[in-house]
Amino acid sequence: MITLKAGRERSRGDARTHVAAAHSGKGQSPLLRIAIYSLRHYWQASLAIGATLIAATLQLLIPRLLGQAIDQAQHVLTVAGEGAQEALLWTAVTLFVVSVLRGLFTLVQNYYAESVTHYVGYELRLAFYEKVQRLSYSYHDRVHSGDLITIGLLDLEGIRVFFSTGIIRVFLFCVLLGIGAYMLFSTDPLLAVLALSFVPFVAWNSSIAQLTLRSTWLVLQKKLAVMTRVMEENLGGIRVVRAFSGQKYEMDKFDTASAEALALAHDRVKIRVKSTSAMNLSFFISMALVLWFGGNKVIAGEISIGTLASFLTFMTILQMPVRQLGMMVNSFARASTCGERFFGFLDEAIEIKDLPHATPLKVSKGTLRFEDVHFTYPGMTVPTLNGVSFEAHAGQTVGIVGAPGSGKSTLAHLIPRFYDVTSGRVTIDGQDVRKVTLESLRRSVAVVQQDSFLFTTTIENNIAYGDPWAKERKIERAAESAQLHNYIAGLPADYDTVVGERGVSLSGGQRQRLSIARALVLKPAVMVFDDSTAAIDAGTEHRIRSAIRRYASDRVTMIIAHRLSSLMHANLILFLEDGRIVERGTHDQLLALNGRYAALYDLQTRPTEELEGAVE
């Protein structure tokens, strides 16, 4: 259990700080929130921005030094002299040093810019995962997990890289274009205009292209989300697919989703290629004009060859940042779209949460009470529960029975506040469950559901998930009560045996028994078994019930079952129909009523032949 315990032992202080920072700035534009969040890492961001400014400035010196070197070389050829050679050597050394320094500062820029992006990615992943843990059941009821995976992977990545692909490039471009333009215009205004003539066209062309790309990015995200959803469902139900030979249908479904995403991706590539081609064409036209007019000025003696070379060199240097202008705009567009979706998810209201003055649940007598409870699922108009009222004391067992859709599981989910009642209230020892802290409530209420989820870890870790510090003997006693200890003891690795993904290495009954053991470890005040023995044979179920009755002598036990033999021993049995309690009492009392419960009992216990004869 070392891995699980170590994970639980880690301090949550840093994570909470990151989460709070990610939630700050609600109501601001996505780009502003990303920028502020990135600049929280001020010393890494400062080094990256400072190195960018220095590297860009040094890069602007290269064309001037290169032009000076050419003029000096020409002077050496025409006027032989030791002083001219020394000047050329000094310029060459200076050019070399400037180039090396520019490379070093570019290295610092790239390193610390990437460092900021990884810090941002790490912290936003924590914030995303923490939000997933706190969102209410109702949110997960209406949002597919594939959509959440898309937000947590693709959208988060679009936000993460914004500092290096967007903010840093803005500083680089502004320095190169701003200072560079001043240097060119101060040398020769005509050639400066010709050298920079391609910049407005490139800016306009890339902006139009990136606006188009932005409008298609959200559509592509949705198609990728659909593709992720199809893949996730296929992986989750791969055994059903194989059992019903549904491989061809699944491949066709995935191929359709993938083809739609591919077609849109191709359209985006066409837009990007056309934009890049237009930028290259405009650049070479500008260079040709500079060569023509600059060459004539050299012939006329108005400028030197070195000055013309410095203009051409500057254009070559500026070409890459200008060509990356489209990527920079794309980074802004992507970050804006991804940030809107990602921060929209982080800002999603949590329906089930602690009230401002919530106090820990204090269990003394362990009395559970439903007081005129009504409940309607969000987005629905037909109520699921109508006026449900009952009371159960410690040591008592309440059985819930009824047709599918009658509200049995909903009733169980209201106790630990998976959902909040629409009206009425649920109390434990007189304390409204809405007014106590969720952590204390859910440690006091354990719900064992029919669909038993197991983690890909050891059996011991799965049983002790709710109490990682549980001693081995406590874990074993829980497994014994769940009639699972003997099976585990026969495994080669005992309790250290690793179960497969979702517990596929165990049978359905074994998974259910392991889930029961997981609940028993907590020793909760209220234990709810929601049809949790449906996959267990009658003999094993009887032994489990006997053990649980001894285990639950001082706590409320609620059993929801279709098989009446599972709850015949209950102190109180409630028969639900359309969200209402239509019959209540003990097993014998309900049989004496000769109503719905008695009819269901006859249906489950009388011989099939006798029932068929009665029907005829």
pLDDT over 60 at 616, yes or no = no
Task: Specify the amino acid at residue 571.
Answer: N
Domains of the chain, by residue range, sit at 16-346, 368-615
Q: Which of 273, 307, 302 is nearest to 195 (CA)?
A: 307
Cβ contact 598:590 at 8 Å? yes
Q: How confident is the model at residue 533 (pLDDT cuts 50, 70, 90)?
A: low
The pLDDT of residue 435 is 92
**Structure confidence by residue, pLDDT tens digits, 246-262:** 778 778 888 888 888 88
**Structure confidence by residue, pLDDT tens digits, 60-92:** 888 888 887 787 777 666 655 556 677 777 878
Whole-number Å distance between alpha carbons of 269 and 210: 11
> Averaged over 514-542, what is the pLDDT?
77
The chain-wide mean pLDDT, for the chain, equals 82
Parallel, antiparallel, or unpaired: how do β-strands 423-428 and 368-375 relate?
antiparallel
Q: How confident is the model at residue 390 (pLDDT cuts 50, 70, 90)?
A: very high
The pLDDT of residue 186 is 86
pLDDT over 70 at 613, yes or no = no
Look up the CATH number of domain 368-615. Answer: 3.40.50.300
The pLDDT of residue 81 is 54
Question: How many angstroms separate the first and last alpha carbons of the chain?
Answer: 60
pLDDT over 90 at 21, yes or no = no
Q: Indicate the range of 113-117, 379-383, 395-399 predicted with least confidence.
A: 379-383
- Dihedral in degrees, nearest 10, Cα atoms 303, 307, 311, 316: 140
**Structure confidence by residue, pLDDT tens digits, 262-301:** 888 888 888 878 877 887 788 888 889 988 998 888 888 8
Q: Which CATH superfamily, name and number, covers 16-346?
A: ABC transporter type 1, transmembrane domain (1.20.1560.10)
Cα–Cα distance list, 136 to 18, 228, 451 (Å):
21, 23, 19
Q: Indicate the range of 247-251, 519-523, 610-614 predicted with least confidence.
A: 610-614
Whole-number Å distance between alpha carbons of 354 and 434: 8
Q: What are the residues whose beta carbons fall under 8 Å from the beta carbon of 429, sequence distance 6 or more?
A: 362, 363, 364, 365, 366, 367
> Averaged over 390-404, what is the pLDDT?
90
Please determine whether the domains at 16-346 and 368-615 fall in the same fold group of CATH: no
Q: Which of 193, 195, 188 is nearest to 322 (CA)?
A: 195
> Averaged over 98-121, what is the pLDDT?
92
> Averaged over 156-162, what is the pLDDT?
90
Whole-number Å distance between alpha carbons of 417 and 410: 10
pLDDT over 70 at 537, yes or no = no
The pLDDT of residue 216 is 79
Phi, psi of 468 (to 5 degrees): -60, -20
Which segment, 18-22, 26-30, 323-327, is predicted with the most confidence on average? 26-30
The pLDDT of residue 459 is 87
Model confidence, pTM: 0.73
Which segment, 101-115, 178-192, 260-274, 514-528, is predicted with the most confidence on average? 101-115
> Averaged over 45-53, what is the pLDDT?
93
Parallel, antiparallel, or unpaired: how do β-strands 397-402 and 556-560 relate?
parallel
130 membership: H or E segment, kind and range: helix 82-134
Q: How confident is the model at residue 3 (pLDDT cuts 50, 70, 90)?
A: very low
Q: How confident is the model at residue 12 (pLDDT cuts 50, 70, 90)?
A: very low
Helix, strand, coil percentages for the chain (3-state, nearest 5): 65, 10, 25
pLDDT over 90 at 48, yes or no = yes
The pLDDT of residue 40 is 87
Cβ contact 4:463 at 8 Å? no
**Structure confidence by residue, pLDDT tens digits, 165-208:** 889 988 988 888 888 888 888 888 898 898 888 888 877 777 77
The pLDDT of residue 25 is 60
The pLDDT of residue 84 is 63
Q: How confident is the model at residue 1 (pLDDT cuts 50, 70, 90)?
A: very low
The pLDDT of residue 140 is 79
Q: What are the residues whose beta carbons fall under 8 Å from the beta carbon of 552, sequence distance 6 or more?
A: 395, 397, 527
Q: How confident is the model at residue 495 (pLDDT cuts 50, 70, 90)?
A: confident
Q: Higher pLDDT residue, 221 or 384?
A: 384
pLDDT over 50 at 467, yes or no = yes
Which segment, 94-98, 201-205, 218-222, 318-322, is predicted with the most confidence on average? 94-98
Tokens representing 616? 């005829």
